[in-house]
Amino acid sequence: MLTLGIESSCDETSVAIVKDGREVLSNIIASQIDVHKKYGGVVPEIASRKHVEAISQVIDEAFTEANISYDDIDIICATRGPGLIGALLVGLSAGRTMAYALDKPFVGVNHMMGHICANYISNKELEPPFICLVVSGGHTYLLDVKDYTEFKLIGRTLDDAAGEAYDKISRVLGLGYPGGPEIEKAARNGKDIYDYPRVMINDGYDFSFSGLKTAVINHLHNLEQKNETYRIEDVARSFQDAVIDVLVEKTIRLTVERNLDKIVLSGGVSANGELRRRMEEAAKEHGYKVYYPEKILCTDNAAMIASAGYYDYKTGNYENNVTAKPNLGLENS
């Protein structure tokens, strides 16, 4: 079964064709990072216009790379949320139009479920149940994934997501956008010498990164006011360790509690090498296996949307007539 996926929730215009939810025939990504970098973040109106400019060409490239025709497609799907409303509408409009013209079923996909399904592409042997940590620019979730479209939300961020905190601290340190790769790079040459708070590390399974972000910014302001110097690398390392300590501790604790033996990482922050290393190190002590996608599938892409759309269709967990939902999350999917 061939699924066409379209992703346009933020600043990547992506179209992919995936076989049986796991085999990628094509995955074309037109990134806008260079466009938004000078603004220090994504400008919604510019993002929407760039999606309109790119979508037709990206669709054509996806079919060319997969070496198939429109008639070969069985399912068409697109991201319905969460994301920027204007950006979402571009992908949804393209997907629904194609589905109508080709008389194919259309599936509106939850972008966050797509991040989870990226793991089925990179890890062909992976099957539920497992504990999943979703860490991205806008969301941080801990999930008990019971089946391909069935899960229980256990913990979520109460304020800032981990990726959002990375971006903010990166800007404050003058490292640029996107912040995740820049912080990780700087942290490799730094030492954890600043005792930044591990917020809520022992309090349930919800997350909070706003206090950590504020603590780092206030610390830097105090140093500057006293004319004291600091190494950017040390701040980056101390900040990153504070984030990872919380993510690893809560994930391992939940896996023990649920008596499972598989941990899945997903979302843009799951590309972080130190997070992967620390999670594997902690999991090994319990005999757990850790899974994560290839780095190209950690960030926004249409292959993961096609995979999620395939499993939604197979289980009948979808609606044809869907609208864009910019605030859609896993708690209200």
Binding site, annotated residues for substrate: 134-138, 167, 180, 184, 272
Q: Which of 106, 101, 126, 102 is nearest to 116 (CA)?
A: 126
Show binding-site residues.
111, 115, 134-138, 167, 180, 184, 272, 300
Count Cβ atoms below 10 Å from residue 186 Cβ, excluding itself: 21
Tokens of 162: 């981990």
Distance CA(8)–CA(321), nearest Å, equals: 18
Closest to 124 in 3D by CA, of 24, 32, 30, 248 = 24
Structural contact between residues 167 and 137, judged by C-beta atoms closer than 8 angstroms: yes
- Amino acid making up residue 2: L
Distance, CA of 329 to CA of 323 (rounded, Å): 14
Which DSSP category does 245 fall into? Answer: H
Binding site feature residues for Fe cation? 111, 115, 300
Strands 75-81 and 2-7: parallel
